[in-house]
Chains A and B, each alone.
Chain A
Amino acid sequence: MSLNPVLPAFAARRLTKRFGRSTALREIDIELEAGRCHVLFGRNGAGKSTLLLIAATLLRPSSGEIFFGGDRYEDLGDEVRRRIGLVSHQSFLYPDLTVLENLEFYARLYGSSADASEALFFADLDLRRHSPVRSLSRGMLQRLSVARALLHRPKLLLLDEPYTGLDAVSSERLSTRLSDAKGETSILLTTHDVERGVSIADRISILEGGRIAFDATGATPSEVKRLLLEIREITG
């Protein structure tokens, strides 16, 4: 009897990214299991955002390979982007368009028949659908960014510090939304919020100086905090 191994949703092999003389990622190997949530911790400049931007095809790696479901990104071409959603530090939303118009625009961009109104209902922005994005609070903007990234039902969701600027209620709501999305969607998330990160993670990694310094499943928040402190003390 042969077992059919489940292919990782996303994988990087010996991934390196250089910006001029500085190296953001150094021969990283990482795998994200399908339907799981992998949380990346690490201080600013550790390479977390660079990894996400490469996974989203917004940056080209200097060397190494990246895979989606076992296929190389190059082989999938532009179509790979249909399967990816990205929540970045910036919202990618047009300030002069309304909340609904922004989502309708992104649905058209992806050729998706997704119902923008339904997405707004889940983002709890139904009552603000005709408000210009310029008028939204930071929390509302972040919820709309998540709705935008999930609108075309991506198989891989990339979130770069999504809890930044959110109050406790909004953060809790976001965690619930991400937990609901898990299974159908694989999630790669970076955060400095150890408690929340660990609470939704199936696997965690700590990045330091462009390398993976620690990688484990089932770590507790206190263990992650201790490891982050130890790594900081060792590397200075």
Chain B
Amino acid sequence: MRSFPVVLAILRKDVRTEVRTRQMVSSMFVFAVLVLVVFNFTLFLDEIRARELGPGILWVAFVFAATLGLNRSFAIEGENRCLSGLMLAPAPRSAIYFGKLLSNILFMLAMEIFVLPLFVVFFNLSLWELLTPSELATFFLVLVLGTVGYAAVGTILAGVASNTTMREVLLPVLLFPVSVPIVIGAAESTRLLFDENLDTTPWVWIRLLVVFAVVFLIVSWLTFEYVIEE
């Protein structure tokens, strides 16, 4: 219970900083849109191919953009060594992790909500026509689970990278290999939802997403204290 006010205080502080500076969501958004534009103008996909490749492209855009945001998330704690200020809080240090995790999830979801309509326009895939209401709900579930899983592992690795001099380079190098199961799970379950010719259910991949998100959350909860110590 001692952790909860600290988690909320960090979330509130991060949201306030973001509202004031607009650095994280806007840079993630611009980067994700650029990825979509590049794929759109290099692949020239018809509707059938767009259904096959679109989900992969969408998740590539999401994870590349999210990595940019995750780097920024701990960079603001580096200025004036504010991370040490957080470490002085009378609560378990995992509270810092969960505070940063919640704000990262919030900012990533905000970016995804802005990017999704542009994906629909660029690849000519109308989600409302393509998916039934229940499939649409499943798609948003995949979006949330993929985001939570990626943020869970990304937040702790951003903490690891923040203590090094090569933080901008190190985060993607550490994060991309570790997050492969999440990216594959999210992209595959989205593809199975988009492709009406496939009878396979996406739930196997969704279960994988849940398992990885839970595993990363538990591992991060147990190890974050040691990660941020110098």
Cα–Cα distance between A95 and B85 once the two chains are bound (Å): 13
Given known pairs A92-B80, A92-B82, A94-B80, the reply for A56 and B88 (CB within 8 Å) is yes
Chain A residue with the shortest CB-CB distance to B8: A108
> Within residues 78 to 111 of chain A, which ones have a CB less than 8 A from any CB in chain B?
78-82, 84, 86, 88, 90-97, 101, 105-106, 108-111
Chain A residue with the shortest CB-CB distance to B91: A78
Q: Interface residue count for B (Cβ, 8 Å)?
A: 27
A227 is an interface residue with CB less than 8 A from chain B: no
B113 is an interface residue with CB less than 8 A from chain A: no
- Min CB distance, A25 to chain B, in Å? 15
Comparing B16-24, B30-38, B162-170, the segment that makes contact with chain A is B16-24
Cβ of B20 and Cβ of A59 under 8 Å apart? no
Q: Say which residue of A56, A80, A96, A110 sits within 8 Å of B20 (CB atoms).
A: A96
Given known pairs A92-B82, A97-B17, A105-B9, the reply for A78 and B87 (CB within 8 Å) is no
Q: Enumerate chain A residues within 8 angstroms of B79, measured Cβ to Cβ.
A: 94-95
Q: Enumerate chain B residues within 8 angstroms of A94, measured Cβ to Cβ.
A: 13, 17, 76, 79-80, 82
Q: Enumerate chain A residues within 8 angstroms of B6, measured Cβ to Cβ.
A: 109
Cα–Cα distance between A79 and B91 once the two chains are bound (Å): 7
Cβ of B5 and Cβ of A108 under 8 Å apart? yes
> Which secondary structure dominates chain A's binding surface?
loop
Cβ of A57 and Cβ of B17 under 8 Å apart? no
Cβ of B81 and Cβ of A90 under 8 Å apart? yes
B84 is an interface residue with CB less than 8 A from chain A: yes
Most chain B CB inside 10 Å of its own CB: which residue of A86, A108, A109, A110: A109
- Min CB distance, A162 to chain B, in Å? 15
Q: Enumerate chain B residues within 8 angstroms of A91, measured Cβ to Cβ.
A: 80
Cα–Cα distance between A105 and B221 once the two chains are bound (Å): 23
A-B contact count (CB 8 A): 77
Cβ of A108 and Cβ of B230 under 8 Å apart? no
> Which secondary structure dominates chain B's binding surface?
helix
- Min CB distance, A71 to chain B, in Å? 15
Given known pairs A91-B80, A108-B5, A108-B9, the reply for A59 and B230 (CB within 8 Å) is yes
Most chain A CB inside 10 Å of its own CB: which residue of B16, B80, B86: B80
Cα–Cα distance between A90 and B84 once the two chains are bound (Å): 9
Given known pairs A97-B13, A97-B16, A108-B9, the reply for A78 and B81 (CB within 8 Å) is no
> Within residues 63 to 97 of chain B, which ones have a CB less than 8 A from any CB in chain A?
76, 79-82, 84-92
Chain B residue with the shortest CB-CB distance to A101: B16
Cα–Cα distance between A179 and B220 once the two chains are bound (Å): 43
Q: Enumerate chain B residues within 8 angstroms of A95, measured Cβ to Cβ.
A: 79-80
Bitwise interface map of A from 134 to 175 toward B, beta carbon under 8 Å scored 1, else 0: 000000000000001000000000000000000000000000
Cα–Cα distance between A12 and B92 once the two chains are bound (Å): 23
- Min CB distance, A99 to chain B, in Å? 13
- Min CB distance, A75 to chain B, in Å? 15
B47 is an interface residue with CB less than 8 A from chain A: no
Cα–Cα distance between A106 and B13 once the two chains are bound (Å): 10
Cα–Cα distance between A110 and B81 once the two chains are bound (Å): 18
Cβ of B17 and Cβ of A110 under 8 Å apart? no
Cα–Cα distance between A71 and B29 once the two chains are bound (Å): 51
Cα–Cα distance between A111 and B91 once the two chains are bound (Å): 10
B229 is an interface residue with CB less than 8 A from chain A: yes
Q: Enumerate chain A residues within 8 angstroms of B21, measured Cβ to Cβ.
A: 96
Chain B residue with the shortest CB-CB distance to A106: B85
Q: Enumerate chain A residues within 8 angstroms of B82, measured Cβ to Cβ.
A: 92-94
Cα–Cα distance between A97 and B77 once the two chains are bound (Å): 12
Cβ of B80 and Cβ of A86 under 8 Å apart? no
Most chain A CB inside 10 Å of its own CB: which residue of B12, B76, B85, B89: B85
Cα–Cα distance between A110 and B86 once the two chains are bound (Å): 10
Q: Enumerate chain A residues within 8 angstroms of B9, measured Cβ to Cβ.
A: 105, 108-109
Closest 4 pairs between A and B when the two form their complex, measured CB to CB: A92-B85, A82-B90, A90-B81, A108-B9
Additional A-B contacts beyond A96-B20, A97-B13 (6; CB < 8 A):
A58-B84, A78-B90, A86-B88, A108-B9, A109-B88, A110-B90
Question: Which residues of B line the A interface, CB within 8 A?
Answer: 2, 5-6, 8-9, 12-13, 16-17, 20-21, 76, 79-82, 84-92, 229-230
Question: Which residues of A line the B interface, CB within 8 A?
Answer: 56-60, 78-82, 84, 86, 88, 90-97, 101, 105-106, 108-111, 148
